Structure 1
Amino acid sequence: MTETRKLVAILAADVVGYSRLTSVDEDRTLARLRALRSDLIDPTITVHMGRVIKRTGDGALVEFRSVVDAVRCATEVQNAMVERNAGLPPDRRIEFRIGIHLGDVVEESDGDLMGEGVNIAARLEGVAQPGAICLSEDAYRQVKSRLDLKINDLGEVRLKNIIEPMRVYSLHVGIPADVKPASVPQATVAEAPAPGLALPDRPSIAVLPFQNMSDDPSQEHLADGVVEDILTALARLRWLFVIARNSSFTYKGRSVDVKQVGRELGVRYVLEGSVRRSGNRVRITGQLIDSATGTHLWADRFDGAIEDIFDLQDQVTSRVLGAIAPKLQQAEIERAAHKPPQNLDAWESFIRGLHLFSQHSDASTRKAIDMLDHAIELDPDYARAHGLRAVCLAWRVFQGWENRDTAFAAATDSVHRAFASDSDEPWAFIAQAFVSLGKRDDQAAVAALTEAVNASPNFAFAHALLGAVHAFGGRPAQAIECIERGARLSPRDIFAEEYQLFYSFAHFQAGRYAEAAAAAERAIQLRPEHPALYIMAASSYGQAGEIGKSKDMLVQLSNLVPTISAAAIAETFPYTRQDDRDRLVAGLRAGGLAG
């Protein structure tokens, strides 16, 4: 067996508490890990030119051509895991430890890597805190001038089975280096940037020209066409400030610093990418960057045949939009969360209210209404705030937390105020649909959500909610189609548990009780304080004859809504057809719900 020596960046990662997670629920843990690999870890490794050397049940060893690529890959994965673990109890979170080292390794003929360089990376991973990244001094030297993240110098650390102690640095993902820590060398502190344009009062983005990575200069039109499509789609998001093509394309053909672009154009986010053609195949990559910190928020790649280039462009546009819209909202939510309420402007108050509404609990939705009232106080004509306030009020009726007549009247008033400022406000249409559902007016609910989709074709939640309305009206096939469209537009939406609930509505209406219960259970894992999830799970289990599981769900439902009764659910649940409501209540009574 021949071998070759080379200098490479090695990344070692594993899952914190893997044995404990699998002992509690092995099937669910393994399923989550498989999903993480397929839609997060492997695509991110590929974008940053990594090569997986080997996998274990709970970890991986990855080779990169540079430490910069390895650190960027690691920070993107760790940032994504913070988002995915949000709302989960600590004992169900999947967290990674990561170690990165630049060292000499031996590559064997089968591609495997061996040697002290590999061992050091593995030992660095072992001393990392959950969610953190540990760098050796050799790795740290390669990236220290390019990082804008908080670094802790851990000093000399003795690593297991490594003879000499090593200096180790711990990288804290998601914490900007606003203040120089005492233990960080001077070189890691960036100089104060030159002043630039003021940021707009809403999220702002520039899409830079995608780089043509092909040898053929004629492929420039392909790269430009992809950017044109993305810009057109982003411009339809009215809450987003998008820099015009004529400005962003002044950077074409130039090597630019994303932070400088952000200052010069006055934007918080920058989308960049590349297009590479090889034979009849095309690969398009994209990455979203916070221009203030340099943090990568998202990255992905898209492959297709050149003869299907227009279909590929449409696919890229749809997936880029579906991925970065929720990323932008989440980044804005996290930014607003660090400011005291009295310092929030109208947009920040709205975005915090949106986040609170997405938690779907009694307390969070009350706070959401308070936050939206604050936004309206700052800007009385803020249509989105009026619309979302109406949605919150109407939604709470269906959970049993508001008086039906009073809340629907207040929601209707907010809808009118929203339309007075913007006749095409999608959240106001959604609120209209909720009020119509409360009256079991199927046609009006469909019409309102159709208006929402027409006003904002890329609004994933509106598409999915239209699916829920079709389920309530007895059209499960149309329901599934609309929900899937929403899920494709926004695969990691902040309303992800709602999509699962909508699937449950559709499966239940079609008599597929096992599928309905499974979808409700998936939603419960994401938002355990949402009452409707337990209603669907309990009734589905009751209809399927799994009475013990139905009873368990009803216990948790009663904890959330102590006054809940079968009669109240029969009165408020929005299934239009009497037969569907009767089956829903029968399933609940099978589990023992009184009233």
Structure 2
Amino acid sequence: MHGSEVFRFGLFRLATARRELSLGSAPVTLGSRAFDLLVSLVKRQGRLATKDELMAEVWPGTIVDENNLPAQMAALRKVLAADPDLARCLQTVPGRGYRFVASVEIGTDASFESTAAETLSIVVLPFANLSTDAEQAYFTQGMTETVTTDLSRISGLLVISATTAATFDGKAIDVRQVSCELGVRFVLKGSVQRNDRAVRINAQLIDGRSGVQIWSEIFDGDIADPFALQDRITGRIAISIGREIFVAAARDGEMRNIDPRSWDLVMRGIAADNKPQSLECLQQQEHFFAHAAQLDPKNSIAQAWLARAILLQSAQVHAPASLKQDALTRGAEAAERAVALDPSNARAHLAMSYLYYLRRDFERSLLASERAVAHDRNLAMAYNMLSASLSHLGRGREAVLASETALRLDPGGPQFDVFRTTMGLARLLLGQIDDAMACFSRARQANPKLARAHLGAAIALAARGDVPSAQLAAADLLRLAPEYRLSQTVDACLPDSPPRYRQFYDEVLLPGALSAGVPV
């Protein structure tokens, strides 16, 4: 009945000749009838299979109760739910039959072997409840499920469903065994301990191959608002381990002496972003992402990261004017291509936000950032862009709130300097000079090459009356960008700028720059 093909869909591999179904590298137990049913559906690749056709193929020459068919379908759905992307791949067509709608690749074991390492995958094990109060189990369960959901929003990362992970609850387990059984590379485990109102969450990310812990963090909070605490912590966990996973995978790719494929290059590019922003760093990222997109033109994640790397080059004030214009043109093409490939990709919308911002179309930049957040509520850079656009629209209080969210989600990440600078401009807009100065000082300390932080510091110091210190900050700026002119930057005032921003520019930015000695 079955040929020698091997079918791959999601994390599953179906070897018909050997009658084997595997999830990653781990075999999956499946009854004989369910196996035959799966093969019949998968081979049709989206075409409808009527009930009569399936009964004839799975129970040939046998008279059976037709209720056996839906029972076997239920068993299949339960197995396939281990891969969240396949949770709805078996569709029932009422009164007619069934359809398998997942994307299916056909090949051999050898043909799939070279790409087996490309899929980054993780399982979030049920967090342990260390509290003496058993009623707090609901909070612990909620933590596990919310972290799983947050991680599933990271493009390029496959997350095993919470229902499958729940089968390990309360068991003494070896994470390497879990990794093998589920075919996942990374395992996240943790614990929750409550003492009166105080809650402590301990989370660890473990490499399932070696059993080595590669990241851990302790989070403390107040249980007064458990859902707000849960959201705050799970967002931090998602963004932190998301970065660690891609960096670890990139390191693996560098160690393999092979021609890297598209996903290896994407991961190397993401790892290259794990440092303060500079023209050199962005050009290195562009190299990786452009090569990845060339190898796989349909890789929307590569296109979205490529667009960001290119567009941010045009925002570097010390870059040559010709490079800036070229980067804006090429970045626009990559951003539009990323959105066209996958309208649900949060980073694609983030790239569009950069594009509109650099074109000084702040209303559309704001809308694009909001779309990015709608697709990934933990994308800290999207909140930073929200803040930047809101400031230019004269909405300072909202801008500060957006910056606070970005810093809450990613307080120790490589874009800390950018986040602090964005917040500093928002606080300047509100007249909070000392708070703004604190933001610029921390940004300059984190990244001395960030010209906008020096500009903000110069203006804030001038507004505070400390002209000598303002002139020193301006000198730092001009050492980085000798041709700097405030009127040629995104912070300049436009004829159609909102009245509040125009007032801010005329009363704070322009006088501060002139006093500090910043060319306008």
Deviation at 1:485, TM superposition (A): 1.4
Mark the CA change 1:199 to 1:592 in structure 2 (over 3 Å): closer, same or farther.
same
1:352 aligns with 2:268: yes
- Give the distance between the partners of 2:196 and 2:473, measured in 1 at CA: 56
- Extract unaligned runs of 5+ from structure 1: 1-195
- Give the distance between the partners of 1:197 and 1:259, measured in 2 at CA: 22
RMSD over aligned CA atoms reads 3.2
Match of 2:216 among 298, 307, 332: 298
1:449 maps to: 369
- Give the distance between the partners of 2:294 and 2:408, measured in 1 at CA: 36
Deviation at 1:570, TM superposition (A): 7.3
- Give the distance between the partners of 1:388 and 1:535, measured in 2 at CA: 27
Mark the CA change 1:225 to 1:430 in structure 2 (over 3 Å): closer, same or farther.
closer
Match of 1:479 among 396, 399, 405: 399
Higher mean Cα deviation, 583-592 or 488-497? 583-592
Q: Describe the superposition over 1:130-183 as per-residue Cα deviations: whole angstroms up to 9, x where unpaired.
A: xxxxxxxxxxxxxxxxxxxxxxxxxxxxxxxxxxxxxxxxxxxxxxxxxxxxxx
1:553 aligns with 2:473: yes
Match of 2:343 among 423, 427, 434: 423
Deviation at 1:499, TM superposition (A): 1.0
- Give the distance between the partners of 1:368 and 1:198, measured in 2 at CA: 23
Mark the CA change 1:208 to 1:443 in structure 2 (over 3 Å): closer, same or farther.
same
Deviation at 1:343, TM superposition (A): 4.0
1:157 maps to: none
Mark the CA change 1:281 to 1:482 in structure 2 (over 3 Å): closer, same or farther.
closer
Mark the CA change 1:535 to 1:230 in structure 2 (over 3 Å): closer, same or farther.
same
- Give the distance between the partners of 1:413 and 1:479, measured in 2 at CA: 28
- Give the distance between the partners of 2:484 and 2:373, measured in 1 at CA: 34
2:315 maps to: 398
Deviation at 1:516, TM superposition (A): 2.3
Q: Describe the superposition over 1:402-425 as per-residue Cα deviations: whole angstroms up to 9, x where unpaired.
A: 445433222221122112210122
- Give the distance between the partners of 1:289 and 1:370, measured in 2 at CA: 30
Deviation at 1:393, TM superposition (A): 2.7
Mark the CA change 1:313 to 1:390 in structure 2 (over 3 Å): closer, same or farther.
closer
8 Å contact from structure 2 (residues 428, 436) kept in 1: yes
Match of 1:534 among 428, 447, 454: 454
Q: Describe the superposition over 1:492-540 as per-residue Cα deviations: whole angstroms up to 9, x where unpaired.
A: 2221111101111112222333332321221121122222222222222
1:362 maps to: 279
Letter paired with 2:278? S
Q: Secondary structure at the match of 1:298?
A: strand
Higher mean Cα deviation, 349-358 or 230-239? 349-358
Mark the CA change 1:213 to 1:368 in structure 2 (over 3 Å): closer, same or farther.
closer
Q: What does 1:258-407 correspond to in 2, within 5 Å?
A: 258-276=175-193, 284-293=201-210, 294-302=212-220, 304-305=222-223, 309-332=226-249, 334-335=251-252, 343-357=259-273, 358-400=275-317, 401=319, 402-403=321-322, 404-407=324-327
Q: Percent identity?
A: 26
Mark the CA change 1:534 to 1:462 in structure 2 (over 3 Å): closer, same or farther.
same
- Extract unaligned runs of 5+ from structure 2: 1-112
1:204 maps to: 121
Letter paired with 2:489? I
8 Å contact from structure 2 (residues 363, 389) kept in 1: no
- Give the distance between the partners of 1:203 and 1:482, measured in 2 at CA: 30
Q: Secondary structure at the match of 1:529?
A: coil
- Give the distance between the partners of 2:314 and 2:423, measured in 1 at CA: 21
1:247 maps to: 164
TM-score calculated relative to the size of structure 1: 0.60
- Give the distance between the partners of 2:488 and 2:226, measured in 1 at CA: 54
2:515 maps to: 590
2:378 maps to: 458
8 Å contact from structure 1 (residues 399, 532) kept in 2: no
Deviation at 1:316, TM superposition (A): 4.2
Q: Secondary structure at the match of 1:420?
A: helix
Deviation at 1:328, TM superposition (A): 3.2
Letter paired with 1:299? E
8 Å contact from structure 1 (residues 326, 490) kept in 2: no
Q: What does 1:428-443 correspond to in 2, within 5 Å?
A: 428-443=348-363
2:429 maps to: 509
8 Å contact from structure 1 (residues 326, 494) kept in 2: no
Deviation at 1:481, TM superposition (A): 0.6
Letter paired with 2:183? G
8 Å contact from structure 1 (residues 326, 492) kept in 2: no
Deviation at 1:266, TM superposition (A): 2.4
8 Å contact from structure 1 (residues 386, 418) kept in 2: yes
- Give the distance between the partners of 1:501 and 1:283, measured in 2 at CA: 31
Q: Secondary structure at the match of 2:482?
A: coil
Larger relative strand fraction? 1
- Give the distance between the partners of 2:298 and 2:338, measured in 1 at CA: 7
Alignment size in residue pairs: 398
8 Å contact from structure 1 (residues 541, 550) kept in 2: yes
Mark the CA change 1:501 to 1:573 in structure 2 (over 3 Å): closer, same or farther.
farther
- Give the distance between the partners of 1:451 and 1:303, measured in 2 at CA: 30
- Give the distance between the partners of 2:518 and 2:133, measured in 1 at CA: 69
Q: What does 1:179-218 correspond to in 2, within 5 Å?
A: 200-213=117-130
Deviation at 1:453, TM superposition (A): 0.7
- Give the distance between the partners of 2:477 and 2:175, measured in 1 at CA: 49
Q: Describe the superposition over 1:32-59 as per-residue Cα deviations: whole angstroms up to 9, x where unpaired.
A: xxxxxxxxxxxxxxxxxxxxxxxxxxxx
Letter paired with 2:351? A
Letter paired with 2:266? F
8 Å contact from structure 1 (residues 501, 533) kept in 2: yes
1:467 maps to: 387
Deviation at 1:199, TM superposition (A): 5.9
1:84 maps to: none
